[in-house]
Structure 1
């Protein structure tokens, strides 16, 4: 592909020279774009070669840098939102106001709306992907979900809120079902948002309600569904007003529920601990070094794993990547993205940001908590920001951040993808440990020409723990409870081909992924009280203690994994419950 592109560039320049045709402005723009793409392709080829030559440690084989697999050649939509359900299926959404998609609604169903592009639309703008069959089923969305937010409720229902145009105050729900059934979206006729929500963030609370924070021109928060303890009206939130700037760099704020029940909220370059019950800021943190990190500057954030080994008392936040201030206001400059990750222990008395340098500059990167408690940074670009056509130089190599390695030894560059995923891309952890990648549309409408066309393919990245060389350590969960009660012990039966050692059991939430941030993402590492080998060889019964409170693990469904010598099992779904 690189050789062919090089020859096309050479031939086009040769023809121009031979016939001495004057270059028009559009010609120059077109050739300039092709030259940039040409340079970028050769740069990515060089990165791939250097990765293979230098990124391996002693005794590490190429397969240990992960592998890629194309799952669906055309999903019908470009997915800017994604969420994995408790049945293992994946809900994918785009906006409705793009005109026709490439997948029809079933049975000749059509949608009549006030969309500006297509009033009578017989195509789907949401699909359900089934990883077991690599198939998609069209779903029906009535109102525009562009840049909306969401989170799963305790019963496993996905609540999706806001959007644009007629969808800006809508509340939608998707109650998942087995892949063989035909569940679909329902738009509420009773619930409506108190404030328009476009680029907001949702977080599930310990009482099972969701708090919805911010959005464009929305310096407030509200609860959904409203309860007796919370007003149905929006509550002014000065932190969002204070962190606003000319780029609106406080959109899609990073929100993490802390084990003490408060919220850590990050917007632009500032962060606080917020007691939502008392409506009070109880702690403020130093400004993060570097530029802004939220939309449209496109950094990402995770709360690092919560550990039973320290009684869930230590909380660390990791923020990686982002754009320079001004990259969104002057997108033609294509300013380099950030090369830094910043880590802070929010539970320290005097917390400070500790900086680490990533192997490559990145904005619009998605951060995924892996079953092993490491972090995968994937997707994105090396220059620009979020927005229509604002980014160039896609970053094809994921990077693994080893959470508990020594500083300076935490980053490992993984095998490169062949699919650029820029603005409006998603990344989701599947039950089997793969990372599902979908979306990428840097255009206002579906556009299949140019440097970075609308992306309809779905692929998956398999991290090194899925390499065949790790199969001997891979455990399998065979017996487990469907529901666990806070603080109560329970048992899990696990088998492994080889001896069990260094076993951990982790709960991983199913977040709502959009715009380089996964709302509600958390990993809780549980206390393992004992391991007993049962009669059968290589079969073990593990005693585990459930999370101590809904502040540590909000009520709902989690993927539970057993990790043996750094190799995770496939996940099973369990529900955290308050009990009777």
Structure 2
């Protein structure tokens, strides 16, 4: 009995060591609550070119924390919870002051997917039950606008629940990949009349860690698609899998195992790409229902364009399932949110991981991870993270229950926070560049001047683009970062500086879309401006 007690005590100690905060001195960054009650828990989120943020939840969840304005109600005869529902399940948030405005959504968006089109319209696809084949759009607006969701008269060919979207070169079409019991993909809108769906063997199976597949557009126009532990390169034009890549070592990564993935920044000569896949539930945890099983610590990194493509493994500082991976203006990746035990689902994870981790892909192995300052708000199942134009990361959501539940362990979370990385600290203000002139529209391979002012001119100047992805279930769909080529800055009139930068070479590298353009000096970004790639 004494031995058993000692073993239990040791297990508890080990668990505490895994998830406990590291000393404060090594925790850069800061946190701020932007809104104490956004009205909804954010299952999906996307930042618009007007610097507003669309938050979206399920509709079949019953009352939320915010009502629709003017006595408006949703009358949905197919709704399985509230056929007459006067509560909002989507809001528009203004991060500048935390103000929220209720949005109207008609069909169920539970575990759906989405992406911005090249014209800035947010397209949202699929969901549960009556929303399973639906296509919805939102033409975004600023904080003072009245834009809202629109249910289109188009539908998906197949119902999509837990699918992933990615914009395609041209900016007028998306590919929608996978979904529960749906090992296929299709295009929105269709490429030609009568087109339906296309099979993808990688996604076969009914449950097993292949939902919300990780999808990335590569510089040659092919797609990298990852599910469970396997990945392929898919040629969109021919519909053929042109390469089967090695199995990623370790644990399964996709829903319900709750790993995440990001593409490292694309940079000249824009011919190769690297994918980073991190964390997730332990092998067999979701299948067996083991809520206490420790999550994974490992990450795999691969260059799928290399002739000898292989996974290179390394460990994060802590275990993490349901972490979100956010591209930063510096080219680093922030891993944020999640838990140290269990897997994705209602009440199936515990031991929240409160500390973000920053990953520097250019650093030497063993020195790539840096632990950041902890929050005091657990962000578990159904939480999101998005980069904002000011360089901070908007963090929202967390609902580990079937309905909105404000008592007990891990209650429904309506607070919205912003995490400010250390580059936003006041000590960097002197070298922080402020863009004063820039191209509102960029065309491929063309050169442009970006003019900025600083208090102190010092260090390397960089100009980087970040897309505005659709965040859901720990995967930021359509996320990409592009490091533009730049010349040596020169002095301009009025004490400003100008740097000549060259637009990306093609739509395969940088699809036609709106992007945040960040100017950095000595690794310190200023506030981004929005540009359109055409």
Superposition TM-score, scaled by structure 1 size: 0.88
Alignment of 1:318 onto 2:282: no
Look up the match of 2:267: 307
Look up the match of 1:96: 59
Change (3 A) 1:231 1:502: farther
SS in 2 for 1:329: helix
SS in 2 for 1:382: strand
Per-residue CA deviations over 1:37-69 (Å, capped at 9, x if unaligned) read: xx79x9489933x3325xx3xxxxx6xx10000
CA distance in 2, matches of 1:332, 1:213: 28
Per-residue CA deviations over 1:208-249 (Å, capped at 9, x if unaligned) read: 210000000011110001123x853111222211xx36x421
Write out aligned runs for 1:339-488 (5 A): 339-488=297-446
Alignment of 1:555 onto 2:498: no
Task: Kindly indicate whether the alpha-carbon contact (under 8 Å) linking 1:216 and 1:248 is maintained by their aligned counterparts in 2.
Answer: no
SS in 2 for 1:328: helix
Alignment of 1:180 onto 2:119: no
CA distance in 1, matches of 2:370, 2:40: 32
Task: Kindly indicate whether the alpha-carbon contact (under 8 Å) linking 1:397 and 1:416 is maintained by their aligned counterparts in 2.
Answer: yes
Aligned match for 2:452, one of 491, 494, 497? 494
Write out aligned runs for 1:281-296 (5 A): 281-296=241-256
CA distance in 2, matches of 1:284, 1:329: 26
Per-residue CA deviations over 1:224-283 (Å, capped at 9, x if unaligned) read: 01123x853111222211xx36x4211000000001000000000000111010111111
SS in 1 for 2:489: strand
Look up the match of 1:47: 20
Aligned match for 1:510, one of 468, 474, 484? 468
Alignment of 1:251 onto 2:214: no
CA distance in 1, matches of 2:296, 2:182: 27
SS in 1 for 2:293: coil
CA distance in 1, matches of 2:499, 2:398: 42
Bigger Rg, structure 1 or 2: 1
Per-residue CA deviations over 1:373-402 (Å, capped at 9, x if unaligned) read: 001000000000001110000000000111
CA distance in 2, matches of 1:479, 1:196: 46
Look up the match of 1:4: none
Superposition TM-score, scaled by structure 2 size: 0.95
Using the TM superposition, give the Cα deviation of residue 470 of structure 1 relative to its aligned residue in structure 2, in angstroms. 1.2
CA distance in 1, matches of 2:397, 2:263: 24
Q: What is the number of equivalent residue pairs in this alignment?
A: 522
Using the TM superposition, give the Cα deviation of residue 333 of structure 1 relative to its aligned residue in structure 2, in angstroms. 4.5
Using the TM superposition, give the Cα deviation of residue 529 of structure 1 relative to its aligned residue in structure 2, in angstroms. 2.8
Structure with a larger share of its residues in helix: 1
Write out aligned runs for 1:46-65 (5 A): 47-48=20-21, 50-53=22-25, 56=26, 65=28
CA distance in 1, matches of 2:264, 2:382: 24
Look up the match of 1:336: 294
Task: Kindly indicate whether the alpha-carbon contact (under 8 Å) linking 1:328 and 1:387 is maintained by their aligned counterparts in 2.
Answer: no
Which runs of 5 or more residues in structure 1 are unaligned? 1-34, 57-61
CA distance in 2, matches of 1:290, 1:458: 33
Look up the match of 2:5: none
CA distance in 1, matches of 2:407, 2:288: 24
CA RMSD of superposed structures (Å): 1.7
